[in-house]
């Protein structure tokens, strides 16, 4: 039987990063994966969704912006099969990159389902049902999450689908009904909207992206409506039925009136839930919480001292970069180091266009916590760079403590917000004041100038270009 210092179950961004860091620190490391290296993120999540977002963005630009830029082309057409094939190519290259990293770091890969026999032994069952056992001093569980479903309308993979099927459709729908106006719903809804589908989003809350700063949600609603997306907020889905070639959704709005939508597909994007199936948690007595997430302490240690858990399978934001940070943290702890994660500074991004990104507190949270704060905003429309590229929508918004000027929240909706958010994370990690940002040179002309101007607005309302 092979023995390891560290075994990692699950090779998503949490698991494979934990394995690499453990190997870098000199641990003999194994990783166990039942499907494909890279987990949800690389295979059916972050990477394929961004590949389709980028392709559909190019198409949409060609249709709506090229003429004004002075580029004359015949009416562009979608070759959807090629778009899906390119997406799959990106996934395969990225997965191959992880295999390379496993080999380079001398991490042993076991293909199969890992299940605890006891606290130090894991049984691995391969696809052909053959089994083998390994011994591990420490185990890191990184088994991720799966799509949540509506109890009254289970996904059939044909007409009632999850993000997984939505990333590999064979046709652009005429009408895509999206249940859930969160990250997945808006990203994949944007893909198909840009490719010509009618897209209707049914959201239970009174606004889309309800976890993000309210001003960003309002602006995104406005811009996506302008692009043609339809929204039914404060609306409760009551039934979804596959009628063969179509799907029928029934819902109730806040006045209690019935809404009936007919579409080709209903994409269920109402969140994800932790996945622990076939891990054999009961064999070791690992505890889970009321939502099925593995319970851990602040060191990500389970109630069994040599077993840790990270990423989507534990509490917290279900984000790839959060899982990665946790993987590094556990490996470094095992090596005797004292790492720390500032969970308040895990940024959240929605890859619509314009992109939406936030870190730190939202204005709603500051109000609720009774914090004395000030706000500085700056519109992208006033940036030379935004006019040059025709990306005028959006703004940067900085929330700072009224007394100390420390930045408490950093929110951007606009072109390249996903990249701009890194400035907010850096500033806040170093506990910068809004004035600190105003005193740093921001290259001209860039979208990042909106950050400096919003900081100027927050400092004492003195933006230069507004
Ligand atoms: P996962 O990536 O889910 O990996 C878990 C792995 O464990 C899987 O490969 C699974 O097969 C394996 N496994 C499970 N049980 C066993 C077992 N018993 N034995 C062996 N292997 C097992 N996040 C972002 O930050 N940015 C994005 O842009 C983004 N886009 C997304 C788009 C979509 C459509 C979806 C669905 C998610 C997206 N996410 C995004 C979320 C992100 O994918 C997850 O937060 C991230 O993958 C979690 O990583 P993880 O390592 O915890 O688990
Ligand atoms: P989400 O939590 O972002 O959004 C779910 C939405 O569905 C919420 O707005 C919620 O109010 C709504 N909802 C819940 N039940 C409903 C119902 N019965 N009817 C109508 N609306 C309902 O979840 P998601 O979009 O499914 O994404 C899952 C996870 O994957 C998220 O935690 C997210 O962090 C992660 N993810 C991240 C990215 C990214 O970082 N860009 C992209 C995709 C997914």
**According to the 3-state scheme, what is the secondary structure of 398-419?**
EEEECCCCEEEEEEEEECCHHH
SS3 323: helix
The pLDDT of residue 248: 98
Estimate to the nearest angstrom the gap between the alpha carbon of 260 and the chain centroid: 30
Q: Is the CB of 319 under 6 A from ligand 2?
A: yes
Structure token pair of residue 286: 């690992």
**Distances in whole angstroms, Cα of residue 179 to Cα of each of 148, 175, 441:** 11, 13, 43
Sort 342 into a burial class: Cβ within 10 Å, 0-12 / 13-18 / 19+.
exposed
The pLDDT of residue 196: 98
pLDDT, tens digit (0-9, with 9 covering 90-100), for 183-200: 999 999 999 999 999 999
CA–CA gap between residue 451 and residue 23 (Å, rounded): 39
* Cα 399 to middle of ligand 2, angstroms: 25
Q: Is the CB of 316 under 6 A from ligand 2?
A: no
Structure token pair of residue 212: 């993000």
Query: Is residue 463 pLDDT above 90, yes or no?
Result: no
The pLDDT of residue 181: 98
Structure token pair of residue 74: 């015949």
**Distances in whole angstroms, Cα of residue 258 to Cα of each of 195, 204, 252:** 29, 14, 5
Catalytic residue from among 58, 65, 299, 444: 444
Structure token pair of residue 96: 């191959």
Query: Is residue 250 pLDDT above 90, yes or no?
Result: yes
Q: What angle do CA 347, 350, 352 make, to 5 degrees?
A: 150
The pLDDT of residue 465: 86
The percent of residues in the chain predicted with pLDDT above 90, rounded, is: 98
Banded pLDDT at 164 (limits 50, 70, 90)? very high
The pLDDT of residue 414: 98
Among protein residues, the one whose CA lies closest to atom 23 of ligand 2: 271
Q: How far apart are the first and last CA of the chain?
A: 69
CA–CA gap between residue 196 and residue 115 (Å, rounded): 45
Of the listed ligands, the closest to the CA of 145 is 1
CA–CA gap between residue 377 and residue 450 (Å, rounded): 8
Q: Count of alpha carbons within 13 Å of 136, Cβ hemisphere only? A: 32
Do residues 183 and 216 lie in contact, with contact meaning Cβ atoms separated by under 8 Å?
no
> What is the crossing angle of helices 46-64 and 80-104, to 10°?
140
pLDDT, tens digit (0-9, with 9 covering 90-100), for 118-153: 999 999 999 999 999 999 999 999 999 999 999 999
Q: Is the CB of 186 under 6 A from ligand 2?
A: no
CA–CA gap between residue 133 and residue 113 (Å, rounded): 11
The pLDDT of residue 461: 81
Q: What is the H or E stretch that residue 333 is in?
A: helix 320-334
Number of residues that make up the chain: 466
- Ligand 1 pocket test, pick from 320, 324, 329 with the greatest ligand atom count within 8 Å of Cβ, gives 320
CA–CA gap between residue 414 and residue 370 (Å, rounded): 29
* Cα 93 to middle of ligand 1, angstroms: 17
The pLDDT of residue 458: 97
**244-257: average pLDDT:** 96
Q: Is the CB of 354 under 6 A from ligand 2?
A: no
Do residues 419 and 352 lie in contact, with contact meaning Cβ atoms separated by under 8 Å?
no
Query: Is residue 427 pLDDT above 90, yes or no?
Result: yes
* Cα 297 to middle of ligand 1, angstroms: 21
- Close Cβ partners of 407 (under 8 Å, ≥ 6 residues apart): 360, 398, 399, 400, 424, 427, 428, 432, 433, 434, 437, 455, 458
The pLDDT of residue 460: 81
Bond into 352 cis (ω within 30):
no
Beta bridge pairs of residue 150? 153
Banded pLDDT at 462 (limits 50, 70, 90)? confident
Of the listed ligands, the closest to the CA of 273 is 2
Cα maximum dimension of the chain: 69
Do residues 65 and 72 lie in contact, with contact meaning Cβ atoms separated by under 8 Å?
no
Do residues 117 and 282 lie in contact, with contact meaning Cβ atoms separated by under 8 Å?
no
pLDDT, tens digit (0-9, with 9 covering 90-100), for 33-69: 999 999 999 999 999 999 999 999 999 999 999 999 9
Q: What is the H or E stretch that residue 174 is in?
A: none
**364-368: average pLDDT:** 98
Structure token pair of residue 73: 């082309």
Do residues 307 and 143 lie in contact, with contact meaning Cβ atoms separated by under 8 Å?
no
pLDDT, tens digit (0-9, with 9 covering 90-100), for 256-275: 999 999 999 999 999 999 99
Mean pLDDT of the chain: 97
């Amino acid at each position: 039987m092979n023995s390891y210092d560290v075994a990692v179950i699950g090779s998503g961004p949490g698991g494979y990063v934990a394995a690499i860091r453990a190997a870098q620190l000199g641990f003999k490391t194994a990783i166990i994966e039942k499907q494909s290296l890279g987990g949800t993120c690389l295979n059916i999540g972050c990477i394929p969704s961004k590949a389709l977002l980028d392709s559909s963005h190019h198409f949409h630009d060609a249709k709506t912006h090229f003429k004004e830029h002075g580029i004359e082309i015949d009416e562009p057409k979608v070759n959807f099969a090629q778009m899906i094939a390119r997406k799959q190519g990106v996934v395969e290259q990225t997965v191959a990159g992880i295999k390379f990293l496993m080999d380079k770091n001398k991490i042993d890969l076991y293909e199969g389902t890992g299940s605890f026999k006891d606290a130090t032994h894991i049984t691995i069952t391969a696809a052909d049902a053959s089994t083998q056992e390994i011994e591990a001093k420490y185990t890191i569980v990184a088994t991720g999450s799966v799509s949540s479903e509506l109890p009254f309308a289970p996904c059939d993979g044909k007409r009632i689908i999850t993000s997984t099927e939505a990333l590999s459709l064979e046709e652009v729908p005429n009408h895509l009904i999206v249940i859930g106006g969160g990250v997945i719903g808006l990203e994949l809804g944007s893909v198909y909207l840009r490719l010509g589908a009618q897209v209707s989003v049914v959201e239970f809350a009174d606004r889309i992206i309800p976890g993000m700063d309210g001003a960003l949600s309002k602006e995104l609603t406005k811009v996506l409506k302008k692009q043609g997306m339809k929204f039914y907020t404060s609306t409760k889905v009551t039934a979804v039925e596959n009628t063969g070639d179509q799907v029928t959704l029934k819902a109730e709005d806040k006045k209690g009136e019935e809404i009936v939508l007919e579409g080709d597909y209903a994409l269920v994007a109402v969140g994800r839930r932790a996945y622990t199936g076939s891990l054999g948690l009961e064999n070791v007595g690992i505890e889970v919480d009321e939502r099925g997430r593995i319970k851990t302490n602040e060191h990500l240690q389970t109630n069994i001292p040599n077993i840790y858990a990270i990423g989507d399978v534990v509490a917290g934001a279900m984000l790839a970069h959060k899982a990665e940070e946790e993987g590094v943290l556990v490996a470094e702890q095992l090596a005797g180091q004292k790492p720390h994660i500032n969970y308040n500074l895990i940024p959240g991004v929605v890859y619509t266009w314009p992109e939406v990104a936030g870190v730190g507190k939202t204005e709603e949270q500051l109000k609720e916590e009774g914090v004395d704060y000030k706000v500085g905003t700056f519109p992208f429309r006033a940036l030379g760079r935004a006019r040059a590229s025709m990306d005028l929508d959006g703004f940067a918004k900085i929330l700072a403590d009224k007394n100390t000027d420390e930045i408490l929240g950093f929110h951007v909706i606009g072109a390249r917000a996903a990249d701009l958010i890194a400035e907010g994370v850096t500033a806040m990690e170093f506990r910068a004041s809004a004035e600190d940002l105003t005193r740093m040179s921001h290259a001209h002309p860039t979208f990042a100038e909106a950050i400096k101007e919003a900081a100027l607005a927050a400092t004492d309302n003195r933006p230069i270009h507004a």
